[in-house]
Amino acid sequence: MIELLRALDTPRRRELLRLAWERERSAGELHRELGDVTFGAVSQHLRVLAEAGLVAVRRDGRQRFYRARKQALGPFRAWLEVSWDDALYRLKLAAELEAARRGPRPRRKRTSSRASRSGERRSAP
């Protein structure tokens, strides 16, 4: 159960699962659908989904094809299907993907003295 929750934890993995929900798709096709991540990142996400048993993998020569294993999701299946049809989900997904693409926010530097905060130095009388 923990592995399943970990696999569903990221918006990219949920989106990959959605893309492979109705039909089998190649790793390259899934990569093209996401567009803003590297093929290696897509491959790593697909590996996590496969290890959790959420996608079936079929090899054909050098290509790998993925299809969602709906029955493996148990009670999460209905939640995913409903959420994928929800406009709020799509907005949330877009925001999460954009935040993930940008990475963490940079930290602001802190100043340590009052003089540097005011922008001027005080002189002794």
pLDDT greater than 80 at residue 86? no
Cα 45–Cα 47–Cα 49 angle in degrees, nearest 5: 70
Q: Measured between alpha carbons, how far is 97 from 102 in angstroms, rounded to an integer?
A: 9
Structural domains for the chain = 2-102 (1.10.10.10)
* Complete DSSP assignment for 83-122: HHT-HHHHHHHHHHHHHHHH-SPPPPPPP-SHHHHHTSPP
Q: Please list the residues that pair with 4 across neighbouring strands.
A: none
Stretch 75-100: mean pLDDT: 73
Q: How far apart are the first and last CA of the chain?
A: 70
pLDDT value of residue 124: 52
Mean of all residue pLDDT scores within the chain? 80
pLDDT in tens, 24-75: 999 999 999 987 789 999 999 999 999 999 999 999 999 999 999 998 888 8
Most confident of the following: 1-5, 6-10, 95-99, 116-120: 6-10
